[in-house]
Amino acid sequence: MKKIHIEGSYITLGQLLKMLDMIDSGGQAKHFLMDVEVKVNGEVETRRGRKLYPQDIVAVDGFGSVQVVQD
């Protein structure tokens, strides 16, 4: 499982997708989440503004899973 390091206390799902180079801009996140199943801690998530905290696990269909960790 890949780990994504964040500096603050949380990151949004849209920001994470951008960091993973799945989207080019935050505006694309809404459409991406309609087309691709994304789960946060095992539950389907469709909100690009969902806050992700250290230890959260995000699974993207066709990509795999990443865990959010704090620097």
**Per-domain residue ranges of the chain:** 2-70
DSSP, res 35: H
**Tens digit of pLDDT for each residue in 40-57?**
999 999 999 999 999 999
User: How much is the pTM?
Assistant: 0.92
Q: How confident is the model at residue 39 (pLDDT cuts 50, 70, 90)?
A: very high
- Contact by Cβ (8 Å): 65, 59: yes
Nearby residues of 20 by Cβ (< 8 Å), 6 or more positions away: 4, 60, 63, 66
> In a 10 Å sphere around its CB, with 0-12 CB exposed, 13-18 middle and 19+ buried, how is residue 24 labelled?
exposed
- Contact by Cβ (8 Å): 66, 6: no
For domain 2-70, give the fold: 3.10.290
